[in-house]
Amino acid sequence: MPNAKVEIRNSEQFPVAMTYTGTDGSYIFANLENSSYTVTAEASGYYVDSSPKSVAITNANQTADFTSTAVPTLQLVFDIDKLNIGTQAQIAWKYLNISSDETILIQKVSNGIVTNLTEVPASNNYFLWNVDCPVNQTVTIKVSLKSNPAVNAQDELTILPATAGSSQSILPAINLLLKKKH
């Protein structure tokens, strides 16, 4: 697992050192005193098994190996919580551990009613939504993998009345991390 963050803590759980794994997944903490330590590992887009691990340093090198599982991850880029009727909002995303031809399902939930806005390949990276909800209400935008709805996220937006110039595009940026639940 390249570029994973690895941290070592002493027996009182205070951080001693932190590093990142190399391209081959290896890491080294040098010049540690003889003592007991806890080693943790984490990596964006991965579930790390068996973290944390306990190690005891007694005048010899020790090994703490971790295994990881790729987790399908979507990251939406949309940082606004209010939209005006008649605006066009760009719902954009990045993806990790997802095939570029996977289908992304984008839905709107308003007053308990789910409306499919569109389905697009993950590689499209965005969808332009023409805001068309009743005003002064909160709607939920939900994005998920069509093949695995458990990989999803949602966010609430308040819909406001149209304003002068509301036909312009709004290019929001809501940072959501969508992870498969274990």
Domain boundaries, the chain: 5-70, 73-179
Per-residue confidence band for 28, with pLDDT thresholds at 50, 70 and 90 = very high
Predicted confidence band of residue 182 (pLDDT cuts 50, 70, 90): very low
CA distance 127 to 68: 32
Q: At 124, phi and psi to the nearest 5?
A: -60, -35
Q: What is the pLDDT of residues 108-155, one digit of tens each?
A: 998 889 999 999 999 998 899 999 877 788 998 889 999 999 898 888
The predicted-structure confidence for 53-112, as pLDDT tens digits, reads as follows 999 999 888 888 998 898 998 877 777 788 888 888 888 888 889 998 899 999 999 888
The class that CATH gives domain 73-179 is mainly beta
SS3 annotation, 83-119: EECCCEEEEEEEEECCCCCCEEEEEEEECCEEEEEEE
- Answer yes or no: pTM beyond 0.85: no
Q: Which CATH class name applies to 5-70?
A: mainly beta
Predicted confidence band of residue 164 (pLDDT cuts 50, 70, 90)? low
Q: Please give the Cα distance from 46 to 69 (Å, whole number).
A: 5
Helix spans in 20-176 (H): none
Q: How far apart are CA 122 and CA 40, in angstroms?
A: 32
Extract the tokens encoding 53.
């691990």
Distances (CA, A) of 42 to 27, 99, 116: 13, 22, 35
pLDDT at 173 (0 to 100): 37
Residue 17 has pLDDT above 80, yes or no: yes
pLDDT exceeds cutoff 80 at 42: yes
Note whether 5-70 and 73-179 share their fold. Answer: yes
